[in-house]
Chain A
Amino acid sequence: KQEVTQIPAALSVPEGENLVLNCSFTDSAIYNLQWFRQDPGKGLTSLLLIQSSQREQTSGRLNASLDKSSGRSTLYIAASQPGDSATYLCAVGVNNNDMRFGAGTRLTVKP
């Protein structure tokens, strides 16, 4: 069974810092991997989708990498801003229509 882990559960950084969020998974046979952002009391917003054949995806200040062999993905956030404060969730596609989510990393960016 695919297990997805995100460490740390919470992270606090000063504004302007570059940071990395980690995601690990137990089974390298994945369909794809997505990173989501969740604001308190809100739904999830997809940030980046990496297909199984890809190594990374970039969107603005965000860069996500995927290493299937080691069962890891990272989300790099450059020049963090207070507006980046949210919970970031990693989800691994286990087949065409099912995903396994990590519990998330709660990020706080202090002004």
Chain B
Amino acid sequence: NAGVTQTPKFQVLKTGQSMTLQCAQDMNHEYMSWYRQDPGMGLRLIHYSVGAGITDQGEVPNGYNVSRSTTEDFPLRLLSAAPSQTSVYFCASSPSRVSGANVLTFGAGSRLTVL
């Protein structure tokens, strides 16, 4: 089925470890983004990309890296995990480079726990 695929669905890390959350979409969407969702708070934008080779920071980028080498993939890297990065992470995509021009399609989420 077409859509946004995130892996892994669950991950437990120790403080200081690094890992990559994968996001892939097969809809040829130009815009892709990563959000984190914490209890009692709205989703917050971490990083986004408006096309291959183009990335930019969102509201809470510290501690995370991204790259966009292909249209389909937008991985999120945690360089040195901290307990404050315990959260549910969502990847989203949109056909347009302007995210607000079209509805966002979200992945199912990746739940990360940092001990």
Contact = CB atoms under 8 A, between A and B. Distances in A.
A and B part of one assembly: yes
Interface of A: 4, 31-32, 34, 36, 41-46, 49, 51, 89, 91, 93, 96-104
Interface of B: 4, 31, 33, 35, 40-45, 48, 50, 56, 58-59, 90, 92, 97-100, 102-109
A26 B109 CA distance: 28
Nearest to B111: A41
Chain A contact surface mostly:
strand
B100 A31 contact: yes
16 contacts: A4-B42, A31-B100, A34-B103, A36-B106, A42-B108, A44-B90, A51-B100, A93-B99, A97-B33, A97-B50, A97-B98, A97-B100, A98-B48, A98-B58, A98-B99, A103-B40
Contacts of B4: 43
Contacts of A31: 100
Nearest to B98: A96
A89 B41 CA distance: 11
